[in-house]
Structure 1
Amino acid sequence: MATDDDHKAATEFPFNPNAPMAEPPGLQGDQVHQCETCGGGVIFTGPALSENCPYCNGSVVLGIEDKAYATMALVPFRVDQKYATNRITDWVSRRFAAPNDLASFAAEGRVANIYAPFWTFDSREAIEYWASYTTGSGDNRRRHHVSGKMDVYFDDLLVPASDHVTPLIRDGILHDFRPEYLRPYRAGYLAGFAAERHTMPVRKGLRLNAQDKDLLIRNKIRKRVGKRNTQVDRYRTDTTGIHYRRILLPVWILHYSYRDKPKKVVVSGIDGRTFGERPFCPWKLAGYSAILTTLVMALGLVWGATGIL
């Protein structure tokens, strides 16, 4: 499905937060299926038609056609269902202190696919900061205050463009994104897969991005100060050069239930990175704790007997 225009998929679009919104959503020509449990709206193309929501496994019903923003690009599924299922099986088998019957419950689950909506954001930040750190102890303990300026460039920060993209799904895809994998959006890529359209404006995406960006900025300030226990008291930033993309990213999701508690295992459709939710066996945890306690006590006795302590 490669074309001579594939390189254009990585194109980023400028955004001026001070300008009026100039891109109204439009009808995409797709019939939306609405989840009765989580409220997610997804489209099914070709044989992907399902009675269950890819996000939460709830029942879906045919809904009204909704307006959405045009998808600019996507990363096609690079991992098929067989490989994803093998990754899930391997992930489940490696869980520490898992119940003995976890694998059988997971095997009875349903594997769904979804093209989940994301933004990528670039920006330049001119930052002025005020921070402090402590040296010494006791009577020599001193608090030092520092300030400074720095420039930071953020490139391709990934932000979920849907309330239904949970932290688990986000983490399952976050580290796998590479712009060179992007392809221009074509409906043919969706054949056999579910997808959720972009329904949020860019301004909301920037607001959702603010919390992640705040954490990254504070970490960069601490690194610039270069002192242990640095506390960022405050900072201000002038944001310019905002660019964005509206993209779809591929995810496999296993929905299973353990003792009537729903859980998920997420596999990145890009490279198979796997994250998940799992139960613990309390008896195994208690046994491991007892063994560890015994070893620590025995080690203490040995050290005491040899006079090392």
Structure 2
Amino acid sequence: MSEIRHWPCDACGADLRFAPGQSHLACDHCGHEQAIPDASPGHPQALGELPLRPALTGALPAAAAEQIRTTPCPSCGALVEFRDATHATRCPFCDTPVVAGTGESRLIKPQAVIPFRLTEREARAAMVGWLGRLWFAPNGLRAYARKGRALTGIYVPYWTFDTATRSRYSGQRGDAYYTSRTVTVMVDGKPHQRTEQVRHIRWTSVSGRVARAFNDVLVMASASLPRSYTEALAPWDLSALAPYRADFLAGFAAEGYTVGLAEGWGRAKEVMAQTIRGDVARDIGGDEQRITAIDTDWSDETFKHILLPVWTAAYRYNGKSYRFVVNGQTGRVQGERPWSVWKIAFAVVLALLLAAAAAYVAQGR
């Protein structure tokens, strides 16, 4: 996680910030607006893919990487970046103080970014609304979040992968057929016979090939948040990607990746393998399928390192910490599930009373 980036205003010298949903930098002090050159998103032709194989062996061009002072957060593990003369900051994921160490990391530079579309106020409204829809959430937490400190805008690192696949498979196709049988059942104490259909499967050995081209398979490159959180923020509209410019980071923080390229590629292959398995099942056809083996050839593998916008909040309420994340593009919210003991107790008592009332009515009848 880098400290918040600062750009001076040409008019008064105060710090500029990127204006979410716009294509300029804004000065909160004097109101001056400063255009970002070539800031229009949605031009994927300008986003260069990098070849994967050389990168996995450390053979990327020197210009594709940079040396950065980094320290892992001692609490959640987020990679905190320190630039310029900064020596201390706080982790926006868990609010833990972090002091700069002496180590440096050579990291692949970001190639593209989805700029923030939601403002902090809009993200807060989305989070408070999400809390309000949760059953048994403490009312005090919603009120605390509504008037608490500002959310932190963070650009979270992701990998995207492209590849072409050709897969050979073997397995069995199952076709259903039915036979009839007569069974005896008791109706009002008397035996009755009826005919029922029995399902059987006829299995046939099969083999074949399927092919698929994958584009922009997305893998989060950070371990600072549970995968369930980040997966719940999907989908992302990657057509809004713009070529990376540091101007988009003005007033925001950017997290360094802790999931390396090789590990990210492994996770992407797991995702793609599930899709390929679905393709094989459809190719086999029939009513049921048994897949014995799939052998996949991967070719034309490329990748991008991109940054996606996330608003984060870490609140302490009644001695407990709660973390929330908001998709800075769509407003989807995910966070730790708070519970109200009193609401749960009230619901249990109410359920018992309703059950007792139902039993009393039944007994009276």
Indicate the TM-score class for this superposition, using the shorter chain for normalisation. Answer: 0.7 to 0.9
- One-letter code of the match for 1:184? P
Please identify which structure carries the higher helix content.
1
Taking a change above 3 Å as real, the CA distance of residues 127 and 29 of structure 1, as seen in their structure-2 partners, is: closer
Farther off after superposition, 134-143 or 230-239: 134-143
Taking a change above 3 Å as real, the CA distance of residues 199 and 283 of structure 1, as seen in their structure-2 partners, is: closer
> What is the CA deviation profile of residues 77-111 of structure 1, one whole-angstrom value per residue up to 9, with x for unaligned ones?
11111110111111111113333434135344662
SS in 2 for 1:103: helix
For residues 115 and 283 of structure 1, what CA distance do their matches in structure 2 show? Answer: 40
Taking a change above 3 Å as real, the CA distance of residues 268 and 4 of structure 1, as seen in their structure-2 partners, is: closer
Pairing 1:85–2:124 present? yes
2:73 counterpart residue number: 35
What is the 5 A alignment of 1:1-309? 1-3=36-38, 7=43, 8-16=45-53, 20-23=57-60, 28=66, 30-32=68-70, 34-43=72-81, 51-64=89-102, 65-107=104-146, 108=148, 111-132=151-172, 133=174, 135=176, 141-142=200-201, 144-145=203-204, 146-179=206-239, 181-198=240-257, 201-227=260-286, 230-281=289-340, 282-283=344-345, 286=348
Please identify which structure carries the higher strand content.
2
RMSD: 3.8
The TM-score with structure 1 as length reference comes to: 0.78
What's the CA shift for 1:52?
2.1
- One-letter code of the match for 2:231? D
Taking a change above 3 Å as real, the CA distance of residues 201 and 29 of structure 1, as seen in their structure-2 partners, is: closer
- One-letter code of the match for 2:200? R
Gaps of 5+ in 1: none
The TM-score with structure 2 as length reference comes to: 0.68
Total equivalences in the alignment = 297
What's the CA shift for 1:225?
3.8
- Checking the alignment, whether the CA contact within 8 Å between 1:159 and 1:208 is kept in structure 2 is yes
Mark the structure with the bigger radius of gyration: 2
Taking a change above 3 Å as real, the CA distance of residues 289 and 148 of structure 1, as seen in their structure-2 partners, is: farther
Taking a change above 3 Å as real, the CA distance of residues 3 and 226 of structure 1, as seen in their structure-2 partners, is: same
What's the CA shift for 1:134?
7.1
Gaps of 5+ in 2: 1-35, 179-196
- One-letter code of the match for 2:125? N
Taking a change above 3 Å as real, the CA distance of residues 152 and 255 of structure 1, as seen in their structure-2 partners, is: same
Q: Percent identity?
A: 30
